[in-house]
Every structure is written in C-alpha cells, then in structure tokens.
Amino acid sequence: MIMFRKSLMIVFAVFLPASSLSSILLLITLTLSLLLHQRYQPYHTPFLNTLEASSHSIQLIFVYVGLIFQQSGRQNTQSLGSDSSNNINSDMINSQLSSFLFVVLLMSNFHFFALWIYNFRLELIKVMLVPG
C-alpha cells in the first residue's frame, strides 16, 4: 500500500506538468490512502499507526498549501496589468496569507516531530525495561 501511494505520487510529480491537476490528484491519493490506513490500521503497534496517520495528514496539508500558493501565484500574474493600488493590497494580503500558511506548515511539522519523539521515547523505555 505504501509503495503504491509513493509510486503514484512520483508519477504525478514527474509525468504531469506542475498544475492544479497534479496537486488535486495528489490530494485524492493522499486522502484515500489516509482513509484506508485509518480503516485497516496495518501496523501492529498503535505508535506506528498514529505516526503514519499523522504523516498522511501533514502531507495533505503540504499539498493543499502548495495548491493555495499555486493559485495565488496565478492570480498575481493575471493582475499585473491592473491598477497599482489593487496590486499593493493584493501583495499585502498575499504576504499575510503566506506568513500564516508558513506558520501552519511549521506547526504541523513541529507537532509530528513532537509526536515522534514522545512515542519513540515510550517505545525505547519499553524495550529497555523488558529483560533480554
């Protein structure tokens, strides 16, 4: 399942042009993969299932934010010939949106990393307490 998902992601990234279509196909693939993972919980330990679900969620966030940036970039190129006061307001909104989305990406990665450290520490304690 994991290899199939990663293979599809590579095919979409390499063989499709950088467009909304490839981003939407990635979103669909990741969403279906997350739903299947939540349904079947393929790993024996809850730790690994939680990490995999969190990883899927972060990938979804990254692709969705990338799609937002891609759309805002298109709007900027279309508005180059319009009124300059409009462009200033648009640039300010885009700057604020970019800052907000950067914080969202940073926090989601921080959450995943903290979750990994916490669960890894618990698993390490379990291994060290079990007599060899």
Q: Domain extents for the chain?
A: 2-129
Which of the residue ranges 24-28, 80-84, 88-92, 125-129 would you say has the lowest mean pLDDT? 80-84
For residue 92, count other CB atoms closer than 10 A to its CB: 10
Q: Among 132, 129, 125, 128, which residue's Cα sits nearest to residue 47?
A: 125
Which of the residue ranges 30-34, 61-65, 66-70, 103-107 would you say has the lowest mean pLDDT? 66-70
32 token code pair = 């279906």
pLDDT (tens digit per residue) in 58-96:
999 988 888 887 777 666 666 555 555 556 666 766 788
**Arithmetic mean of pLDDT, 1-20:** 83
The model's pTM: 0.76
Q: What is the Cα–Cα distance from 40 to 46, expressed in whole angstroms?
A: 12
The number of CA neighbours under 13 Å toward the Cβ of 32 is 13
Cα torsion angle, 48, 4, 62, 37, sign: negative
